[in-house]
Structure 1
Amino acid sequence: MTRRLWIVTHADVVIDPAVPVTDWGLSARGAARHVALARTWAARRPAPDAIWSSAERKAREGAAALAQAFGMAVRIDEDLGENDRSATGYIPEPEFSRVAAAFFARPEESVRGWERAVDAQARIVGAVEKAAAMTQGAGDIAIVTHGGVSTLLLCARLGLGITEALEPGIAGGGGICALEGRHLARGWRPIEAEDALDDAPATPA
């Protein structure tokens, strides 16, 4: 049986243009949403065999909420981080959405100095495969990461070209889906949703 990988994107953050994006933390709402996920998980599913996280602060904080529910430690891998946008730093909306759309539309180009989508995809796919290989057992694995690279991961696992169409599409971030091999076992749901961890048709929310 193929083990289930739960892909969790961090929830709402405190946006501070004076702070590097990788150092942004969760907002009070974002933290509460991750606590809600942890409570639902503890009530409905066995503890995961491992909880992995990007090294970025917002992802680590989200992973910590889940780890606390099970008395586990979080395993960190920098390669689970979001696509590198340090060339531009913070970009406000609506410009950010335009640049992000170009990132997906022209995956073999460095859009405004950002990491290329093809490179970010290879990195996240490799990191997820490594996490699975390094985790003993056959139970679930939780991977707390970011919306952009999660989209790239799904494109690769489902055998699709790079597209924005598989984005979580959840306001404020904080989405969860499940992969079993090359099968999307659970489409995107908000992490605080009552059915976030249920088995259901793999249709994005």
Structure 2
Amino acid sequence: MRALYVTHPQVVMDANVPVPLWALNPQGRARAEAFAARGVVPVGAMIFSSRETKAMELAEILATSAQTLVLSDHLMGENDRSATGFLPPSLFEAAADSFFAKPEISMNGWERAIDAQARIVDTVRTALASVPHDTPAVFCGHGAVGTLLKCHIAGRPIARSEDQSRHGHKGGGNCFAFDLAPAKLSRDWIAMEDFAPGWFSA
């Protein structure tokens, strides 16, 4: 079954607000709205989302355009980083490097990469089982768990080199196309602006 995974674009970063509650900033919202307007997500598609604010905002923009509803699940959320809370960019990048480099070890209390991968793969598999045949499926989520899902589908080791920031837009708002059964990565990370409309019907 063909599916699309889309990460939220730029957000309002606020050290005083829990990261799961961060919202899209004006640039991120504009990118999401432009993506929806291009018709990449067909009318009637099933849209699944993490329950984090930024992912839900993306999903609702796409759902409005596709005239459908959003099905949300907290198990589609980003890797749990609550043990450290907000980290400034330089510290966050170093922590993320460790997260991907040592997937079987918890980085300062973060959810382990292997556990986050098992969670997102199982949740996407369960979601796809509910999708009628020939109905497009779109998942709105996050960079780290999206990368872990992509690694599983492609049969690649967990690595930071697989992250969206290494392939697509640095500010998020990237997507990859896949089939979970049989596992096939149809398109690696690409900025949402560059993903071609009509992919679901091709």
2:189 corresponds in structure 1 to 188
Q: Matched residue of 1:112: which SS? A: coil
Cα distance in 2 for residues equivalent to 1:120 and 1:167:
14
1:66 corresponds in structure 2 to 62
1:177 corresponds in structure 2 to 176
1:21 partnered with 2:19 = yes
Cα distance in 2 for residues equivalent to 1:167 and 1:196:
21
Cα distance in 2 for residues equivalent to 1:53 and 1:61:
9
Contact 1:8 1:174 in 2 (8 A): yes
Cα distance in 2 for residues equivalent to 1:107 and 1:156:
13
Out of 83, 94, 98, the position equivalent to 2:94 is: 98
Cα distance in 2 for residues equivalent to 1:51 and 1:45:
9
One-letter amino acid of the structure 2 residue matched with residue 39 of structure 1: A
Matched-pair identity in %? 42
1:202 corresponds in structure 2 to none
How many angstroms does 1:48 deviate by? 5.0
2:75 corresponds in structure 1 to 79
How many angstroms does 1:136 deviate by? 2.1
How many angstroms does 1:125 deviate by? 0.2
Contact 1:155 1:166 in 2 (8 A): yes
Out of 37, 62, 82, the position equivalent to 1:39 is: 37
The CA RMSD measured in Å over matched residues stands at 1.4
Contact 2:45 2:66 in 1 (8 A): no
How many angstroms does 1:166 deviate by? 1.5
Contact 2:44 2:67 in 1 (8 A): no
Please, which runs of 5 or more residues in structure 2 have no aligned partner? none
How many angstroms does 1:197 deviate by? 4.0
Please, which runs of 5 or more residues in structure 1 have no aligned partner? 200-205
Compared CA separation, residues 161 and 68, structure 1 to 2 (3 A)? same
Give CA deviations for 1:40-80 in whole Å, capped at 9, x if unaligned. Answer: 12xx5633530000000000000000000022110001111
Aligned residue pairs total 194
One-letter amino acid of the structure 2 residue matched with residue 116 of structure 1: R
Taking structure 1 as the reference length, the TM-score comes to 0.90
Cα distance in 1 for residues equivalent to 2:34 and 2:48:
18
Contact 2:41 2:138 in 1 (8 A): no
Taking structure 2 as the reference length, the TM-score comes to 0.91
Out of 131, 145, 151, the position equivalent to 2:127 is: 131
1:108 corresponds in structure 2 to 104
Contact 1:107 1:116 in 2 (8 A): yes
Compared CA separation, residues 71 and 128, structure 1 to 2 (3 A)? same
